[in-house]
Amino acid sequence: MATKAAAGKKSAPKKSPAKKTAPKKNSSSSNGKVPAKSDAASGLRDLFEDSLKDIYWAEKALTKALPKMAKNATSPELVSALNDHLAVTKEQVSRLEQVFELLGKKAQAKKCEAMEGLIKEGEGIMEETEEGVVRDAGIIAASQKIEHYEIATYGTLVSFAGTLGEDDAAALLEETLNEEKDADSTLSEVAETAVNLEAAEQD
């Protein structure tokens, strides 16, 4: 007679089916689209008001950054240009408050990531350059990046205000836009007539 398999031999345990793990949620979907926040702007007016809050924060931050730049500059022309623009910037803050008032909104600031980055970059340039004309050239470069950002922002805000029929707000914003263009031109003049030439002589 054929012998039976030894009693008590245990059969291999059955493997339980692998659990499916839920895919990790990303900030953007697989097709590259960025999901909107719950409080995202739903119309041009919302976007306009959000942009005003953004530049309001930026201008207020500049009233603290410009004195530091002026303190670290050595060119009398550059120091004068920075101090003059500080006074203008304070007026621009007040002008933005007038715009909010025209819109029937309370003046609110929302952190401007772009301006924060530009200011930090300017601080980095001052740390990485020796005091004198080379640092002055770096301060001008950082300041003009800031001016160009503001020119782009105010140009857009003027367009938004005009489209929305906010003509009084558009006029105030255009006044600031022209001031930013003037400041940029002044910085270019200081750089081209004195600072850059002196900095090049040190090479």
In the chain, domain spans:
44-201
Residue-level pLDDT at 157: 98
Question: What is the dihedral sign for C-alpha 102, 104, 91, 187?
Answer: negative
Residue-level pLDDT at 6: 47
Q: Are 129 and 179 a contacting pair, CB within 8 Å? A: no
Residue-level pLDDT at 25: 53
CATH 1.20.1260.10 fits 44-201, yes or no: yes
Angle (CA) 89 76 154, round 5°: 25
Q: Are 131 and 72 a contacting pair, CB within 8 Å? A: yes
pTM of the model: 0.81
Count of CA atoms in the C-beta half-sphere (13 A) of 14: 2
Residue-level pLDDT at 194: 76
- Which residues of the chain have a pLDDT value below 50? 2-8
